[in-house]
Structure 1
Amino acid sequence: MAAETGLPGIPRVDTTALERELRSAVSGEVRFDEGSRGAYATDSSNYRQVPIAVVVPRTPEDGATAIRTCREHDAPVLSRGGGTSLGGQCANVAVVIDWTKYCDSLLSVDPHERTCVVEPGLVLDDLNRALGRHGLRFGPQPSTHSHCSIGGMIGNNSCGASAQRYGKTVDNIRRLEVLTYGGLRCWLGPLTESELESTIAEGGEVGRIHQELRDLRDRYRAEIQASYPDIPRRVSGYNLDSLLRPDGLDAAGLLVGSEGTLATVLRAELELVPTVPYKALVVLGYDDIVTAADAVPDVLAELNPLILEAVGPELVHFIREEGLFEDSLELLPEGSGWLFVQTGGESVEQADEGVDRLLSGLGKSREEHDVAVSDDPDREERMLKAREAGLAATADPPDMPESWPGWEDSAVPPDRLGDYLRDLLALFDEFGYERPALYGHFGHGCLHVRIPFRLKSGPGVATYRGFVEHAADLVASHGGSLSGEHGDGQARGELLVRMFGTETVRAFGELKGIFDPDNRMNPGKVVAPYRADENLRLGSDYRPWHPETFLGYPDDHADFHQGVMRCVGIGNCRSSTGGVMCPSYRATGEEKHSTRGRARLLFEMMRGNEDSPITNGWRSEAVMESLDLCLSCKGCKSDCPTGVDMATYKAEFLAQHYRHRLRPASHYSLGWMPVLAQVARFAPHLVNTVLHAPGIAGVGKRLAGVTPHREAPEFARHGFQDQWLRRGSAEPSPGDDDAVVLWPDTFTNHFEPHIARAAVRVLEAAGFRVAVPTEPVCCGLTWISTGQLGIAGRVLRRTLRVLRPWIEAGTPVVGIEPSCTAVFRSDTRDLFPHDEEAARVRAHFLTLAEALTDHAPNELSRSVPDTEALVQTHCHQHAVLGFSADRTIMRRAGLHPEVLDSGCCGLAGNFGFERGHYDVSMACAEHALLPALRNTDPEGLVLADGFSCRTQIAHGSRHRARHLAEVLDPERKPLR
């Protein structure tokens, strides 16, 4: 087989021979499969190029071996970090080297010199957490700090809000260990003129490179001085200004921001800065975003802030409409354009003094309506969320067409920003683009914006090209840079001549020739680039498949494809801490097992073009493999900034993939659990005996597709519904003011009925009269999670009929199993998007805590005063139901909860029981839950409302977790 590279001068690659030799030479992972290639086919940009292969090296030396092998086969190479680039520099027809899975070590720290040495795959937040004990950090902090890698930051010359104080990445690099395509491996850094002479005199490849760099500098000195704008956010082009040091040159600085087109970084020595212990934030309101830009020079004249950011009114509107960080908006002062100014110091007083100095210099005070001040870190974080929500809120904005990158980070001198914005707004009008949301790093004159380019039609693509050409001329006329943060890649590569002129662009080509004369390092980017309207992910030939689906996708115009398109590559699903998303990525470190990777494969599946690696639609085994490790935790539904709901997409795919086909055994054994539970209630002791009998149980697990590492939960001797019938007390009628219906979910009903009994007592103590459905009912969860959507729909229809009298009367229904409650609150909308009965159920289905906080006739007593509790939140509660009511009830009861921000417990319903998932399931639990349990007193209180969570806790620790109902139960047993 041969891969077509698509660029003149680069031959076709014999992929069969390349794969054979890579597998022989590289100890890491070598992938030529369609799933891996599809997952890496794009970044966060408008561009798409399917790679030749993906290599995941185990060490920097392993990566060097991979590149040497590629050189022997004349194969292009692309080094990749977090894959969030907006210019297309992380997509290419090349062998992708992904450094992030294994090459992520902090190798050394010198606190005295404030330096450290790192491998390229180390994530910025992970680095800063490790440096925190030294009181140090790496200065630049882009918004992707939770998942961007240091190697990627070096490749893009990343900045972020903190660059206002600490500069760009290039300003914080001491030395780089690099590898050229030709095989030179060495450390590069700044050299004085005498050191440069000595290096040249030593000869060899290092001497040659430095001699040619010196000659390039001397030939183009005047052009570099004339064409490089004197602004803080010039990221476009190569850093030829690093050759113009007062004494010598800096080859490491030259390579920063070169986007992997010159050499590969194997290790880096970074310069560090002290952490700022105390911060204060002031938000200033203005009449509009342009007026806010005009005020930037006045702010900078008063102080050197930590950050100086801006948010415009359109962005605030989008955030409010999309429900993103809405509480942040409540903290904004009056205005229709805002500047966020953060100061800092060694004390609260120092941080506040900066705020007061600024306000005094601007003739303002803290009491004015257009001023909001905070030195509370939590409040500051909430206020800054409005700014950080920018990319998510503008990706698919309400009231506007889809918006795209392409001109998202231009930068000008800060004192010309207001004039630039006026001209840019006029250019939007000239090209017929609805006014997009403006925001950005205004202290550095850097503007962020996503524009409603029409990239799905020929005329739309032509208009896009015309716009970026005019915009490039406009920013150059203001003395600015095409890119102030995200680099050039393909989006701006061919426009560089409009900013720098032909002579400096010629120097770029000569620099490329010094390091990569054969054009094999990320070819077609920056130098001799692809056109800006080439290799588009959409484009005029975009013909996506729009299949009929089982689910309705009401938030995506009833279109599965539109749901998949929600993923714009932000990459929050690749974070290592905080929130729920994405447990399988955290367990595996695999792109194709991240939410983004799965969305990319689904996009390829539906692309509808012949060049996609995914060619067999719903039957694709590559997509099936990627989705197999999705826990359906729904964490992405809440934690993904654009609301990707991979659990729903997985259910749809499974339904289509196995349509008219035999399913895995676990889909029958676990998917049909509610039916088995109904059968087991007639002889639970016998069923339990069979399920746990030596020999028989093992055979049964193999036949059922269940992992041998799990014990089947035991059926209760008497189910809750049976106990309720024997209770024989009078029930309320539908519509009674004090009535509630307690939902008897399968798990509580058949396995842990004592929790339902406790919930009844809690509700009755709160003044409710409780009713319970007595006939078999189910939410259909196990059929949904295994993609048996037709059956799930029928089960839910029957359930809705049972609940109809209560729902029509407005009686609340209380769920005590979060996953089942989430079905009624969320999945019913996907299954029955236009059904009014389902909508009424969604409106009246409550968690136990919600019923107690918002509807209870009586106030609960402090049942467990001054009790510490470790709390594991169920993923579906985090993603769908919310947890604020639970926190309120816990406080009222006297609990002091430590709520784990831990992600999924790893069991996730059927997932952790299925054969082949056990290792990943336990790795998810080891992320935070099990370590926290090991650090908790075995007699201490552990709360977990989810049946899966309690089961995993019992399996992996010595603790028995309790449901909130057990803790609040007025007849509870002692908790300790």
Structure 2
Amino acid sequence: MTTDLPDPVLRPAPAEVDVAGLESALRARVDGEVRFDAGTRAAYSTDASNFRQVPIGVVVPRTPEDAAEAVAVARDHGAPVLSRGGGTSLAGQCTNTAVVLDWSKYCHRVESVDTAARTCVVEPGIVLDELNRRLAPTGLRFGPEPATHMNCTIGGMIGNNSCGATAQRTGKVVDNIAALEVLCYDGTRFWCGPTSDEEYRRIERRGDRRAEIHRLLRRLRDTYQDRIRAGFPDIPRRVSGYNLDSLLPEHGFDVAGLLVGSESTLVTVLRAKLELVPVLGHRTLVVLGYPTVDKAADAVPAILPHQPVALEGLDAKLIRDERIKHLNPEALTHLPGGRAFLMVQFAADTPEKAEADAHGLLDALRDSDHHADVAVLDDPDREAELWRVREAGLGATAHLPGRPDTFEGWEDSAVAPGRLGDYLRRLSALYQEFGYASDTGPSLYGHFGQGCVHTRIPFDLYSAGGVATYRKFLERAADLVAEFGGSLSGEHGDGQTRGELLPRMFGADLVRAFGQLKAIFDPDDRMNPGKVVAPRPLDADLRLGGDWSPADPQHLYFRYPHDGGSFAEAANRCVGVGRCRQRVTEGGQVMCPSYQVTGEEEHSTRGRTRLLFEMLDGHGDGPLTGGWRSAEVRQALDLCLACKGCKTDCPANVDMATYKAEFLAHHYQHRPWRRPRSDFSLGWLPLLAQAVSRARLAPVVNAVTHTPGLSRLATAAAGVENRELPRFAAESLQRWFARRGPRGSGARGTVLLWPDTFTNHFHPAAGRAAVELAEAAGWRVEVPQEALCCGLTWISTGQLATAKRVLRRTVRALAPHLRRGGLVLGLEPSCTAVFRGDAPELFPGDHDVRRLRGQTVTLAELLTAHSPGYRPPSLAGTEALAQVHCHQHAVLGWDADEELLRRSGATVRRLDSGCCGLAGNFGFERGHLEVSEACAERVLLPALRAADPRAVVLADGFSCRTQIHQLDSGGHEGVHLAELLAAAHRRGTGGAPVR
């Protein structure tokens, strides 16, 4: 076999692929999910970058061996291959016209752990947080931790050579890899790592393709080693280019290290042997405030000798952006004075050592030129809050109200830490020159201890001129970082954004070496072509671009006031960070319950947003057809629970519940016969409930729906799942209140108790309890007697024309009370959220709707913020679990409830359970029962099974109480906050329940 180096790979003409034959062969030979449908291809058309390339198809392998077989099939058909983990890459390396291997659904096993050697072997699809959760009993963890640690996969981290804040202590991924099992496109498969001379000779004697690869790598190293030493920046965060330096003798001819950061352009990683580090159990965080961000950067060299485990920087613009988005509000109060901040974390085995290290730094700075305003935190909860401030950077700087959109492109450059201050001053001047600088942005933050700067820039990627300026800026910025001896990428990799710019950093000789390395592993350029080597232009394949022209609908039901009235802009909100792809059972995230139980990209908020974006077909070549009639979008939205968790949990505040309602309204417009029957039986439930109440038919209806045989006929007729239907109350809340009448002093004024359908007709006991509490707090309570409704059930089923009529009528009826400044008390979170959230977006210009939003309160808000001096009844000794309703989490907030319960003396644990799974109509709709129950089984039901049978379960949502009633085998019943407090009030006063 020849040992001459091959010619560098040049960009070949795209090969024609027999797509039908490829799909057929994959289905026949691969044990996994093979997806060539338009919806899947749309969902995978982009990552977190500026680029868009629709894949040929997607394979979801069940094991690494399945992935290897998929690559073999692709090779037989000459199809390109792209490995993808969490799909959060920012440089375009996770989007391509290729067969995409999505490792994240099934390939997340920890195959072995060696605590003595501090190593473990894992499959590529395991998420970092999940890996560290499983490793927790060993006292070890995988060191590098990007801000996306809750959803990034180890395979993706290997592909990008990820770092994160902890790299200050543990280094980049390349510094933490013991070995990799890799697969070449031609089928060659082997484990690799540091290779001694003896091991190299053993491999060479094999005389096979693996031996040839190693010989060629030796030749490449020997040819270029002097230029590698001279041309590779000696800085902590050199991520750009291939890791040719790993082949140098002083680095042990580490082939695994070479392949880390190669972005799926050289090999497919099948398994990884990771090096682990001990968990340091005690931390102290020092936050230093400086007048400007460059002055903060100037202080970094003075801090580094004190060996912090993390040293992060952020400027006041990032803080301002987080305040605008109401992100981490509590944490922001802990910052010291200043316009820029350094977060310096120390960790040790004892709290005394961590605190001593922190105070040693402060003593040293006190007598230096870098003295700062200081905050020291040793409370783990407060520290975690401040780290969330830093990790929220990408989301906080995207889609700010009234600001131009910001984009990646120059979001992770790096220089030597000692030159960071000068670099920031020059970079800021470059922003100014290109018109990107202003009082409002862009913000600067990042891993200052290693000289890595994050930012998002308001590039104009909507016009040809703006794209041309974007290109010129990147070229100039690349020259600037090369002048500083830095790296184009300090964390996110090159992909397509920076591949074209590599000659400006490395020079022609080393870029030629990159091309030859590519030819050694992938001579036909089938592995993620057009990225890093022989790259496509940095202004090609843009997700937007000067020619982006979406079919932006003009007639809309919601008005999208935060997106300029544009559905296209709303669908473009997603920046791909992937927070919606969390599957761990800890962390309190509500967003995307269907993804949590299915692991399907198209059932994540990101995947659904991508389909809506593609539905508008702004490029004219999209995989989806039919616009609002798209069956693929309808299918992707079918398992959206409309929980609204993404409205809060998504860094870009995507509101998929609203988008789903809008889509369904147009999808079924002028063809109501295509709607499922459940849209009518559940959507028109308020009218049915009113009819039952007026005719006093509750006993009859309940008998029918709860008699075996008849109940099955009832659910079949309604088109819903065969599960227990809620019972109608014998007497509605309105009828009870009309009989009883208002009472109390009314010293605090009059509050109107909203008789939502669920409280009014199914659970009036919560309403009666609320009346009792409000009157005891000094309020006069009134309950409307008209047949009014907020329109929730019509909104959730996408019957928006009806919903708007119903809601408009309600607003007119409430207007006199609202104009007098009266409060509206909501008890059902989903209905209360309509007044506070949906109504203003349906009628953004209506002043009465604005009043309704501002004057609608929850029970806890009424009894805290609006009832100064009120002392709640004692719940001392009461231990409760709280299942917080999704809409309360997303729209209303639970802080007032937490405060009220604290004042009452109760001990309450809020469950990190997310959505209960019923989600209003969702869990009753046909075909949803399995997902509904799986959502409940993630956290809620196991927590209830583990709880004391006598434990109180707080659940203000009627859906949550229904799900608990039907699925909890331990017999717990959810109670509304009003019922819990009213019972305590009666115990304290010796009174009886109100009648």
TM-score of the two chains, using structure 2 as the length reference: 0.95
CA–CA distance in 2 between the matches of 1:887 and 1:304? Answer: 39
Query: Is the CA contact (8 Å cut-off) linking 2:168 and 2:449 kept in structure 1?
Result: yes
2:721 is aligned with 1:707: yes
> Size of the alignment, in residue pairs?
965
1:160-185, CA deviations, whole angstroms, 9 ceiling, x for partnerless residues? 00001100000000000111110011
| Structure 2 counterpart of 1:420, one-letter code | Y
User: What is the CA deviation profile of residues 258-291 of structure 1, one whole-angstrom value per residue up to 9, with x for unaligned ones?
Assistant: 0001111111000000111011111111121111
What residue number does 2:7 align with? none
Give per-residue Cα distances to partners, 1:501-530, cap 9 Å, x unaligned: 111111111111111111111011111110
2:731 to 706, 711, 718: 718
1:757 maps to what in 2? Answer: 768
Which of 152, 167, 171 is 1:148 aligned to? 152
The whole-number CA distance in structure 2 between the counterparts of 1:274 and 1:858 is: 50
SS at match of 2:345: strand
Which residue is 2:485 aligned to? 479
Matches within 5 A, 1:796-875: 796-856=807-867, 859-875=870-886
- Matching residue of 1:3: none
1:634 aligns with 2:637: no
In 2 relative to 1, CA 590–803 (structure 1 residues): closer, same or farther, beyond 3 Å?
same
Q: How far apart are the structure 2 equivalents of 1:753 and 1:15? A: 59
Could you say which residue in structure 1 is the equivalent of 2:706? 692
The residue that corresponds to 1:933 in the other structure is 944
Task: Name the residue aligned to 1:257.
Answer: 261
CA distance in 2, matches of 1:692, 1:409: 61
The equivalent of 1:123 in structure 2 is 127
Query: Which residue does the alignment assign to 2:504?
Result: 498
Measured in 2, the distance between the counterparts of 1:183 and 1:757 equals 71
Query: Per-residue displacement from partner, 1:868-905 (whole Å, max 9, x unpaired)?
Result: 10110000000000001111111222210010121100
Match of 2:139 among 113, 135, 140: 135
Amino acid in the other structure paired with 1:697: S
Q: Give 1:7 shift.
A: 6.4
Indicate whether 1:75 and 2:75 are aligned: no
CA distance in structure 1 between the partners assigned to 2:91 and 2:742 by the alignment: 68
Return 5+ residue gaps in structure 1 as ranges.
1-5
SS at the partner of 2:539?
coil
Q: Deviations over 1:349-399 (max 9, x none)?
A: 11111111111111269x987111111111112222322221112122355
Deviations 1:589-617 (A, max 9, x none): 00000000001111111233221111211
Identity of aligned residues (%): 59
One-letter amino acid matched to 1:671: G
Match in the other structure for 1:372: 375
| 1:840/1:306 CA distance change after superposition, 3 Å | same
Q: Out of 9-18 and 744-753, give the one that drifted further.
A: 9-18
The residue correspondences of 1:21-170 to structure 2 (distance < 5 A) are 21-170=25-174
State the partner residue of 1:789: 800
The whole-number CA distance in structure 1 between the counterparts of 2:986 and 2:847 is 43
* Contact 1:296–1:415 (8 Å) recurs in 2: yes
> Which residue matches 1:962?
975
Task: After superposition, give the CA deviation of every residue in 1:306-349 in whole Å (9 maximum; x if it has no partner).
Answer: 11110112212222222222322222111111111101111111
Tell me, yes or no, if structure 1 residue 466 matches structure 2 residue 463.
no
Matched-pair contact (CA < 8 Å) for 2:683–2:797: yes
Kept after mapping to 1: 8 A contact 2:292/2:315: yes
C-alpha contact 1:732 1:771 (8 A) present in aligned 2: no
Q: Distance in 1 between matches of 2:272 and 2:387?
A: 31
Task: Give the whole-Å Cα distance in 2 for the aligned partners of 1:857 and 1:467.
Answer: 56
Equivalent residue number for residue 450 of structure 2: 444
Query: Which deviates more from structure 2 when the two are superposed, residues 399-408 or residues 639-648?
Result: 399-408
Give the one of 298, 317, 323 matched to 1:294. 298
Q: Paired residue for 2:516?
A: 510
What is residue 405 of structure 2 aligned with on the other side? 402
Take 2:913 and 2:70, find their aligned partners in 1: how far apart are those partners? Answer: 36
Normalised to the residue count of structure 1, the TM-score between the two structures is: 0.97
8 Å contact kept, 2:232–2:506: yes
Greater shift after overlay, 255-264 or 453-462?
A: 453-462
Task: Return the letter of the residue paired with 2:731.
Answer: H
Contact 1:863 1:970 in 2 (8 A): no
Residue 730 of structure 1: CA displacement? 5.7
Q: What is the Cα deviation at residue 728 of structure 1?
A: 3.9
Distance 1:247 1:753 in 2: 72
RMSD of aligned C-alpha atoms?
Answer: 1.7
Choose the corresponding residue for 1:895, options 900, 906, 909: 906
Q: C-alpha distance in 1, partners of 2:544/2:170?
A: 37
* Of 296, 305, 314, the match for 2:317: 314
The answer as to whether partners of 1:192 and 1:247 remain within 8 angstroms in 2 is no
Instruction: Identify the match of residue 679 of structure 2 among 641, 649, 667.
Output: 667
Cα deviations across residues 430-469 of structure 1 (Å, max 9, x unaligned)?
2222241111111100011111111111111111111111
Task: For 1:341-740, list aligned pairs within 5 A.
Answer: 341-363=344-366, 370-398=373-401, 400-435=403-438, 436-547=442-553, 548-577=555-584, 578=587, 579-662=589-672, 663-681=675-693, 682=695, 683-708=697-722, 710-729=723-742, 737-740=748-751
Q: How much has 1:36 moved relative to structure 2?
A: 0.3
- Contact 2:184-2:266 within 8 A present in 1 as well: yes
Distance 1:423 1:357 in 2: 32
Out of 769, 775, 780, which is 1:769 matched to?
780
Question: Cα 1:247–1:643, aligned 2, differ >3 Å: closer, same or farther?
Answer: closer
C-alpha distance in 2, partners of 1:600/1:192?
A: 47
Deviation at 1:696, TM superposition (A): 3.2
For residue 707 of structure 1, what is the amino acid of its counterpart?
E
Q: 1:305 maps to which residue?
A: 308
Instruction: Tell me the amino acid that sits aligned with residue 333 of structure 2.
Output: E
Q: 1:497 to 1:728 in 2, by over 3 A?
A: closer
Farther-moved stretch of structure 1 (44-53 vs 207-216):
207-216
Tell me the amino acid that sits aligned with residue 912 of structure 1: G
AA aligned opposite 1:711: E
How big is the shift at 1:970? Answer: 4.2
SS at match of 1:519: coil
Superposition deviation, residue 427 in structure 1: 1.4
Change (3 A) 1:512 1:364: same
* Corresponding residue SS for 2:106: coil
Structure 2 distance, partners of 1:729, 1:811, is 16
Per-residue CA deviations over 1:213-267 (Å, capped at 9, x if unaligned) read: 1111111111111110000000000000010032740110010000001111111
The residue type equivalent to 1:587 in the other structure is: V
Offset at residue 690 of structure 1 (A) = 2.2
Tell me, yes or no, if the aligned pair for 1:176 and 1:267 is still in contact at 8 Å.
yes
Residue 288 of structure 2 aligns to a residue in which SS?
strand
- Distance, in Å, in 2 between the alignment partners of 1:245 and 1:329 is 48
- Partner of 1:775: helix, strand, or coil? coil
Per-residue CA deviations over 1:28-49 (Å, capped at 9, x if unaligned) read 1000001100000000000000
Match of 2:214 among 186, 210, 215: 210
Give 1:759 deviation, angstroms: 1.2
Using the alignment, how far apart are the partners of 1:80 and 1:106 within structure 2? 19
Cα distance, 1:632 vs structure 2: 0.4
Per-residue deviation, residues 772-808 of structure 1 (Å, max 9, x unmatched): 1112111110000001111111111111122122211
Kindly indicate whether the alpha-carbon contact (under 8 Å) linking 2:875 and 2:984 is maintained by their aligned counterparts in 1.
Answer: no
Kept in 2, the 8 Å contact 1:224–1:504? The answer is yes
Deviates more, 1:346-355 or 1:684-693: 684-693
Shift of 1:861: 4.3
CA pair 608-9 structure 1, distance change in 2 beyond 3 A: closer
Task: In structure 2, give the amino acid aligned to 1:955.
Answer: Q
Shift in Å, 1:555: 1.3
Q: Is the 8 A contact 2:742 2:781 kept in 1?
A: no
Q: Which shifted more, 12-21 or 200-209? A: 200-209
Aligned to 2:993: none
Larger deviation: 832-841 or 802-811?
802-811
